[in-house]
Amino acid sequence: MIGLISATAAGAAARDRLAAAWPDRTRVYEGPVGDAVRTAFAQCEQLVCFLATGAVVRLVAPLLSGKTEDPGVVCVDEGGRFAVSLLGGHAGGANELAREVGDLLGAEPVVTTATDAVDLAGLDTLGLPVEGDVAGVSRALLDGEAVALRAEVAWPLPPLPVAEEGSYTIRLTDRLVAAAERQAVLRPPTLVVGVGASKGAPVEEVLGLVEDALRDAGLSVASVAELATVDAKAEEAGIVEAARRLGVPLVTYSAGELAGVDVPNPSDAPLAAVGTPSVAEAAALVGGGELLVPKRKSAASPAMATCAVVRRPGRGRLAVVGLGPGARDLLTPRAKAELRRASVLVGLDQYVDQIRDLLRPGTRILESGLGAEEERARTAVEEARTGQAVALIGSGDAGVYAMASPALAEASDDIDVVGVPGVTAALAAGAILGAPLGHDHVSISLSDLHTPWEVIERRVRAAAEADIVVTFYNPRSRGRDWQLPKALGILAEHRAPRTPVGVVRNASRPDESSRLTTLGALDPATVDMMTVVTVGNTATRDIAGRMVTPRGYRWQSAQEGSE
């Protein structure tokens, strides 16, 4: 919960805007400011105080207990100009909260945490347990000193400016090891613990078995991702409570699913009891991985619990990101977030140049020139298969004549794939022209490099006969100068010469140009590969210099009848 505190009418107005926008996340604290701050500090995970920073400092100073315990505190000034992350920037989430508040209120977020100030991913913001010399390693990263990354298991980390060798080390491991001098240890959640238990098995026996098995195998309990068992044990109190105390989810599978998993130690007892020859081993192995601890029984007599431990390394992640038509303000927030998250960026060199300033330090860039789409797609998938967080970029929407198709053709189910939509050229051009896509429309690429012209022509003819608005991508290049006239000729067989045609070049970019002409007047020689051509249907009209296709035909018919 986010506590909201204000002292003046101006502060209350901004406070109420926040409360209205986040009704399920916020609670307004009324009354004397000092009392409100003390109460909210004790009850909430975060606070937004519409007060001077000095006043908030004096109010919260006696309440501070520790970096990991204190809530995040953000201050917003009376004028609503700044949202200051005052306390708990990382641990309390105040840095991100300041950005969210800034976006909502139109305030400038002020973040002074060192790693955030230079756009480094803080080791305590990666979502992984971290221990050891976190401050020293973070300082070394900030100072540009050589910091080595020792990744003992695969995990898709965000970009970090690391080297092969260094006097400081980041160790990524699920092993039960103590951090050495000048070393920070990250614990990725790579371990799945399968658990079986008799009815009424006490939590102490289940939990003790799990902890003993991990310790004896030299594995860290901080890297446990989940407990897994059979559906029939989903409500078994000892298992449920063990998961709660470990702070991990309890995942269950049907007996049929577990019976289909090949295990080294099947048994008749669970087969008779729950319908599968294995619970602990099968539940741990159902998602694949390496069996580190085979089925093991608890030490009690009789033993009422079993467990097995599997290492399931992190899956690589491929984000296919659409950058939009070129303007920075048409790049979506989700796309920006994926660019900052990726440790490897793959893309066409000219597209990389568009967003290079958004990348975090340590991002590895793999760029290439025109005509290497399939190679870029293969490279991105191969990098993801090594456990990396990869962003593959394309212009417009990555799924429209761009990189999503070749990438997904290469990718199998051994990596996670995320599609990030972008504003495609047809939409950017349409917004400039007016509303040409107000009714049914189709996009057709006139490039016959990958598609035979016979197929393209058949599609153009079908669109012409169906009276559908057509947007032509890749309409004309120096080596392909006859396809556009041919396509326009096909449309002209079904549409009048006065049919509006919109021509937009470099939509949303600094040298953008556009014009509205007609099917009979368009000169194909004025079109190139940077141009999008939109041809209206029989209902499309030029209204006040804008290209408009009505959503329905009734008002258009009435207008024509009055002419």
pTM for this entry: 0.77
Q: Identify the band that residue 117 occupies on the pLDDT scale cut at 50, 70 and 90.
A: low
Does residue 559 carry a pLDDT above 60? Answer: no
User: 383 in the Ramachandran plot: left (φ > 0), alpha (ψ -120 to 50) or beta?
Assistant: alpha
- What pLDDT, on the 0 to 100 scale, is given for residue 562? 42
Closest CA to 376 of 428, 318, 300: 318
Phi, psi of 16 (to 5 degrees): -70, -30
Per-residue pLDDT tens for 292-349?
999 999 988 899 999 999 999 888 999 999 999 989 999 999 999 999 999 999 999 9
Cβ atoms within 10 A of the Cβ of 455, count? 10
CA distance 414 to 315: 7
If pLDDT is split at 50, 70 and 90, which confidence band does 513 have? very high
Angle between helices 483-492 and 453-465 (to 10 degrees): 30
pLDDT in tens, 18-75: 899 999 999 999 989 899 999 999 999 999 999 888 888 999 899 988 877 889 999 9
Measuring CA to CA, how many Å separate 403 from each of 167, 345, 350, 380? 40, 13, 15, 10
pLDDT at 356: 93
pLDDT in tens, 190-232: 999 999 999 999 999 999 999 999 999 999 999 999 999 999 9
Give the pLDDT score at 126: 80
Identify which of 111-120, 267-276, 364-373, 502-511 has the greatest average pLDDT: 502-511
Does residue 560 have a pLDDT over 60? no
Tell me what pLDDT residue 95 has.
86
At residue 154, the pLDDT reads 87
Please report the pLDDT score of residue 434 as a whole number.
96
561 pLDDT above the threshold of 50: no
Distance CA 343, CA 388 (A): 7
Res. 556: pLDDT tops 70: no
pLDDT at 97 over 50: yes
The rounded distance, in Å, linking the Cα atoms of 446 and 457 is 9
3-state SS track over 56-83: HHHHHHHHCCCCCCCCEEEEECCCCCEE
From 82-96, 225-239, 255-269, 381-395, the region with the lowest mean pLDDT = 82-96
